Structure 1
């Protein structure tokens, strides 16, 4: 008899039972934090999960729909993963995306701790973890997770394997929760001094978060901008020296002989009538007026035959060779221009 026939012994054989899920103990040896959707993918039913999360059981529910596959407290890494798994479930589906994190990303003090900020509390000391989610999500803050809703979430960066908001955005989300002026000042200062972000980027995010109506934030921003300018000036000094440009006169005011004040510049080459100004404007209220003042000064100087090179601190940091070429080109081209008007150079 053909045992491969559809009948055997006059009876239809029983269907082959589905493959049994792997033993549950295999999960504990891999990732120790999983969402309900991920457990389902491993063949773990809701009933089996509930059984293992009973009092004294080997698992525990840490957040709604997120489980620790061990008893006892969660580690800092587990708290981060749990927060992201809770916040990152895509609406209307249980299918994990981007490691199960969806569009969610860590922000605020937790993000700054991941970036290595010494002025941010260490992760184990944080009672809450801020997580950015799209504003359309219907989740709510729960447990250690505080949701930060964003109409247009920023592009995340990966730090220690988890998605993290860019430093400037994380700073703004941290400052939004802080009332201590000293802590705010230290965080902003470390962001600039440590090269994590430019002052203008930090102030832009603080402005978007509507935090510049808080006096302690405004005071910290003023210090931030002053420190940022000092760092940018130091980079400009190094650029001139390391790229062997002619020595300018530094930080001077320009005037017409017996005439009006033309404005201050960061570096000026009198023999070439070339000026460099650091564009350290911050996008705060009144930016249009500040930019108009920049434009008026530049237009006035160029009408007098001077060349004005504007350089942002970020370009100085990221592309010094390119900026040195721009300045050298302006100096070289000065010989082909009409002679500039004579201006008086005074210390600023």
Structure 2
């Protein structure tokens, strides 16, 4: 009986009516295994948001992925070639990853910028990530990409040095501000963002103005007004740091914020602190790089050279140095004060309140 049936079992695969599915079962099993991959149940956002290419690696064709996104299906397509493997609203994290996947992260570079970047830098003046209509992504100018859905492409000749926040490449604050301001028309929002950048110690006013200038945004009245307020606040913060440096590091009290003048002669200029007995002056460099930067620097340089010809030592400090290395700046000032005993007496100058 077994001998009679065994030949039939061997000849069955050659028949068009016998159990064909059995011979085809390996490919069916592979497809079933691909379907069984628990992609939609993984907690890692990088496995919940996948591209067409990544899905193909899991054995899921583009056609099958599209079928999963039909009405009532378990998935949804967030952007061209980018799928979210669950229904319902995408989280802010999923939207960010989708934006980077759409722009080809890892190929030629893509960086989150604008309001989304500021939100990642924890700016309270920026809307929450889920409240953003667009996520700005900066890419090299040579990339052939277009804005679509919630992704807005920002092109750059060269990508800036990026910061990594929660595993995502994010533009530095000053550049992110410029990209955000380019799309903001509300003057109060612009002022709040610029003020928070300085008050929060994210960056110096000069860095912000430099980026706004490069983006040609300073001609917009509401941006120019916000910059004027920013520079005034930046100087005030720098002056507070200078007061703190003198107090905290035990330097002798200077005359604060004074004008210097030759007796019966010309005005020499104002300085932020002056020690008349030692003929040492401190000047804060709070210039901002606008179109007249060269003229401003020439004025600073002329004043410094004139004072030093009169025997007055001028210590030049920047807000950034005061913020990042106050102890070093205090040592510089202390050294200048101590060195005064070895110098020839300075010319007599009249000191007036500024």
Equivalent of 1:26 in 38, 45, 56: 38
Worse-matched range after superposition: 338-347 or 49-58: 49-58
CA distance in 1, matches of 2:202, 2:344: 43
CA distance in 2, matches of 1:179, 1:152: 26
Query: Is 1:179 matched with 2:185?
Result: yes
Find the counterpart in structure 2 of residue 169 from structure 1: 175
Are the counterparts in 1 of residues 113 and 175 from structure 2 also a CA contact under 8 Å? Answer: yes
Equivalent of 2:73 in 57, 60, 71: 57
SS at match of 1:88: coil
Find the counterpart in structure 2 of residue 85 from structure 1: 101
CA distance in 1, matches of 2:232, 2:54: 50
CA distance in 1, matches of 2:58, 2:99: 21
**TM-score normalised over the length of structure 2:** 0.88
The change in CA–CA distance for 1:344 and 1:24 in structure 2 (over 3 A counts) is farther
CA distance in 2, matches of 1:308, 1:200: 21
Q: CA deviation at 1:102?
A: 5.0
Larger radius of gyration: 2
CA distance in 1, matches of 2:151, 2:341: 63
Q: CA deviation at 1:162?
A: 1.2
Equivalent of 1:233 in 235, 239, 261: 239
Equivalent of 2:201 in 195, 219, 223: 195
Equivalent of 2:252 in 231, 246, 252: 246
SS at match of 2:258: strand
Q: CA deviation at 1:120?
A: 1.2
Q: CA deviation at 1:23?
A: 4.6
Matches within 5 A, 1:271-310: 271-310=277-316
Q: CA deviation at 1:108?
A: 0.8
**TM-score normalised over the length of structure 1:** 0.89
Q: CA deviation at 1:211?
A: 0.3
SS at match of 1:147: strand
The runs of at least 4 aligned residues of structure 1 exceeding 3 Å deviation read 17-25
SS at match of 1:220: helix
Q: CA deviation at 1:88?
A: 2.5
Cα RMSD for the two superposed structures: 1.7
Find the counterpart in structure 2 of residue 40 from structure 1: 56
Find the counterpart in structure 2 of residue 5 from structure 1: none
CA distance in 2, matches of 1:48, 1:256: 85
Q: CA deviation at 1:196?
A: 1.2
CA distance in 2, matches of 1:265, 1:24: 73
Equivalent of 1:325 in 315, 325, 331: 331
SS at match of 2:304: helix
Q: CA deviation at 1:41?
A: 3.2
Q: Deviations over 1:72-117 (max 9, x none)?
A: 221111111111111125xxxxxxx2xxx75111111111111111
Find the counterpart in structure 2 of residue 131 from structure 1: 137
Are the counterparts in 1 of residues 204 and 319 from structure 2 also a CA contact under 8 Å? Answer: yes
CA distance in 2, matches of 1:24, 1:283: 59
Q: CA deviation at 1:38?
A: 2.3
Find the counterpart in structure 2 of residue 3 from structure 1: none
Unaligned runs of 5+ in 2: 1-22
Are the counterparts in 2 of residues 255 and 343 from structure 1 also a CA contact under 8 Å? Answer: yes
CA distance in 2, matches of 1:54, 1:40: 18
Q: CA deviation at 1:48?
A: 3.0
Find the counterpart in structure 1 of residue 265 from structure 2: 259
SS at match of 1:251: strand
Matches within 5 A, 1:215-226: 215-226=221-232
SS at match of 1:264: strand
CA distance in 2, matches of 1:152, 1:24: 43
Are the counterparts in 1 of residues 108 and 140 from structure 2 also a CA contact under 8 Å? Answer: no
CA distance in 2, matches of 1:56, 1:25: 20
Q: CA deviation at 1:34?
A: 1.2
